[in-house]
Structure 1
């Protein structure tokens, strides 16, 4: 109705004037054929890369549903002719899978809780409390990340053996309860939180412990989620530590238990082994899918310093 009251020439002039007044950066982008081809090529490259990464997992899942003779058949048979679901029943009945998962879950949960607790608490001291030698001590502590575990593995084993905790779950808990990476990650995130919040809390009479618990931790959920996810995955997948310290089969983790299947190259039932591997991957996949949003946000923000 409004357009009828405005002459056509005036409407054209108004459109031209609006187009000229639009800032260059706000004009809608014109997708050229070359840009469209480049975008399609990028999507194709990403699809190929994703397929290459997922292909081993697909083969593992399909192999867990084959018979023992079909796993390494030549040529490769990607899809089994008959899905052998019995493999998942046999892996539970013919192995100590329940015990292995229980031990692994206990270690992963306890170690993750301790690392998040100690890492976040120590990071608060390095980020917010000023004391002589703080920066030097932090650099020395973070420098331990560059020291390979193999270089002090034997002295550590002797120390824990003398403490009578070798061949117990406590050995794995003690050697992994503290981590320099967690301190570094949390410190970087704490430094993005305005100092004014801590100063206002001190003026209100809140102690440093209260500031850490009631202000810093609630604001650090993305970093805490990232640290939780990384620690849980590393502990769940750890093989060398349990191999050294856990000699009793009742204490084996899922990694050691599945390794017991590969006792001989010629009599190993690899179909059952792959079924166990699938069961070991499922908890990690679920945890990552549920926490990937916080994980990405925590890693991204921990690299910024306010």
Structure 2
């Protein structure tokens, strides 16, 4: 039925034809609402980002203040006098270079071992079939819910019996394996089709070869995410070095900054200066690995 027929029928019955909607009216309303929604969303995100960055901004400004000006009321966001010499003085007040080297050594070593062990164990849980696989994986992942304080003392006794207290090897052995890394990598491996592994087996590749030559090259986003998270956690770790390391030459940067806390006074400005310097390596690594990190987190939960 065309428009002419509708007009004839309406004329015959005496009923006026329905009015056509004004062009663009409905679309204009929806378009305006969409724009308002986007403005509100971006405003909320900007406010949230500003709230997250506020402590970092305070740390940056406090790093160039005098000790007496750090906790002034009200807060002085812009110091009256900039003490740029804090960034040169801290290198002579404490052996900061030694602490940074120790933190870098532990972070790189533990990150490499966690990526290796986590990806290898995750391959077995995701791509291999053996009795009790799911139950074993569930039990292994359940250890994430157990707080570290519950088994902190038994771990220390074991390290002491082995003679590894006050060595970097104790921290490396305790943190070289992680259930979270296995979980993260397994979730990503589930997104890789099983046909790739089956075709590689038909071609004669062993399970080690499939993992190294087929699965790992496809898992760069997940590997980058695990590496970044492990590096940040190890770099920021305070309790581990505090418990196991007593030699000043073995301390990490997080432990070394404790020297500015005295019995009668605390050099807060130097603590902020050291904190700024300790954040810079993490910031650089995150900026370079941000693209892989976001992809790895976004795809690890998709089957």
Whether the TM-score (by the shorter chain) exceeds 0.5 is yes
The structural deviation recorded for 1:71 is: 1.3
Distance 2:262 2:285 in 1: 31
1:130 and 1:143 map into 2 onto residues whose CA distance is 21
In 1, distance between residues paired with 2:28 and 2:168?
A: 60
Q: Are 1:130 and 2:129 matched, yes or no?
A: yes
In structure 1, the partner of 2:300 is 302
Partner of 1:208: 207
Query: How much has 1:126 moved relative to structure 2?
Result: 1.0
Residue 269 of structure 2 aligns with which residue?
Answer: 271
Indicate how the Cα distance of structure 1 residues 30 and 289 shifts in structure 2: closer, same or farther if over 3 A, else same: farther
Superimposed CA distance per residue, residues 175-211 of structure 1 (whole angstroms, 9 cap, x where no aligned partner):
0000011111111111111111111111111111010
Q: Tell me how far apart the structure 2 counterparts of residues 66 and 51 of structure 1 sit (CA, whole Å).
A: 22
Residues 1-306 of structure 1: matches in 2 within 5 Å?
A: 32-264=31-263, 266-305=264-303
Aligned partner of 1:15 in structure 2 is: none
Alpha-carbon distance in 2 for matches of 1:263, 1:295: 40
Q: Secondary structure at the match of 2:260?
A: coil
Aligned partners of 1:191, 1:36: CA distance in 2, in Å? Answer: 39
Larger Rg: 2
Displacement of 1:37 after TM fit?
A: 2.6
Moved over 2 A (4+): 28-39
1:216/1:88 CA distance change after superposition, 3 Å: same
Q: Name the CA distance, whole Å, in 2 between partners of 1:150 and 1:69.
A: 36
> Structure 1 regions of 5+ residues with no counterpart?
1-27
For residues 72 and 142 of structure 1, what CA distance do their matches in structure 2 show? 43
Please give the secondary structure, in 1, of the residue aligned with 2:82.
coil
Residue-by-residue CA offset, 1:119-156 (whole Å, 9 max, x unaligned) = 00011111111111111111111111111111111111
Distance, in Å, in 1 between the alignment partners of 2:94 and 2:142 is: 42
User: Counterparts of 1:41 and 1:267 in 2: how far apart (Å)?
Assistant: 46
Distance in structure 2 (CA, Å) of the matches to 1:277 and 1:147:
30
Measured after TM superposition, the shift of residue 260 of structure 1 is 2.1
Gaps of 5+ in 2: 1-26
Calculate the aligned-residue CA RMSD, in Å. Answer: 1.5
TM-score by length of 1: 0.88
